[in-house]
Chain A
Amino acid sequence: MPGSIRPDSTTDPDLVAAYREGDERAATELVRRHVKALGRFLYSMGAEQDDLDDLTQETLFRAFRRVESWRGGASFRSWLLTIGSNLLRDQVRKRKGWLVSIDDREIPDHSDPHSDLAAGEAEDRVREGLTRLPRLQREVFLLRAQEGSDYGEIATLLGTTPGAARVHYHHAVKRLKELVR
């Protein structure tokens, strides 16, 4: 559908269909919409900042290469985030290491007012707490907290049931509340 892509009104399924027909502008628009959320999600899942560019690009490459496998059961973004999460898991396995502790991460130096500092501290504590959760709890929690995904969508993406997704989410919330307190 050359010439018909309107950044704000064209839906993700329409963009995916256009990309399948060879319209590369559709891919650009999909990347523009989701790349930042993907980067933030991967970072929250424990990716190192230095790896973010590579991980993001690899995730998008894999997603576009197998775009036929996205059937619209979940949102395109959530599907993308799940691919990224699997990629990150594989990377961690290959390195045979653990997800990076917050203490080892390069936290940007903020010369912001006190309120920003307090907000930054709260974020650091949540990120630290997230690294201590089992992977599935962390993934379910972030899909809920960052994307507002419902349990049905998460269950479709992660190959589980909505009930199990709900249990993972509530366990994560409970543990994070304890860790962040």
Chain B
Amino acid sequence: MTECGWLSDRIPAVSAGRAQWTPEEVQHLNLCRMCQQEWELIRVAGRLGNSAGVSFDAPAVTGAVLQRLERHREMRRARRRTWGLTGLAAAAAIAAAVWTGGVDQGSMRPVPAGPVVAGRLAIPLPELESLQPAELDSVLQTMDEPNVSGAPVDEPGLGNLNSDELESVLDSWEG
């Protein structure tokens, strides 16, 4: 970076009182017309508004701002109370409707899952079809045993199922 570039980056900090010139920088500034012009520009920009009479009564401004903040907080509290009451009223209305039979309770009852699952879970297992009844019993018994070894259960991969089978499985999960 040139000396002018370096000074250009330093001018605002010095002008705002955040930094001070080094003797070398002062020397350059005294000789360089471009840097003097920039220094003057930043000095003027830093003073902008002073002559426009921009001054505020800090306690009065704070008072007004804090009053607005309090009003804002109060409005939020009131809104929250309103929503709470609305929620309670809605819950009470639903409870009353259920209590008096206004809602068709049959439609809310869960559908019994057992038979439907048994009926729909028709996943073909050709490797079991050739087994004798005794062998099949033995296999089924081992499948019923709990997995106490801690080894991960070998779940059937859903990725191998076609869309109808997958739908059946998902239906059975949803009950």
> A interface vs B, CB < 8 Å?
24, 27-28, 31-32, 35-36, 39-41, 43-44, 49, 52-53, 56-57, 60-61, 64-65, 107-108, 110, 116, 119-120, 122-123, 126-127, 130, 141-142, 144-150, 166, 170, 173, 176-177, 180
Contact = CB atoms under 8 A, between A and B. Distances in A.
A28 B59 contact: yes
Contacts of A142: 45, 48
A61 B64 CA distance: 9
Given A35-B56, A39-B56, A180 B41 contact: yes
A177 B49 contact: no
B12 A148 contact: yes
B49 A40 contact: yes
- What does DSSP make chain B's interface, helix, strand, loop or mixed? helix
A144 to B, nearest CB: 4
Given A24-B66, A64-B65, A148-B13, A173 B48 contact: no
Contacts of A149: 12
Contacts, number: 120
A103 B84 CA distance: 55
B172 interface: no
Contacts of B64: 57
A144 B51 contact: no
A12 to B, nearest CB: 15
Q: Which are the 8 A-B pairs with shortest beta-carbon distances?
A: A148-B16, A40-B49, A145-B45, A32-B58, A144-B12, A148-B18, A39-B54, A44-B48
B164 to A, nearest CB: 52
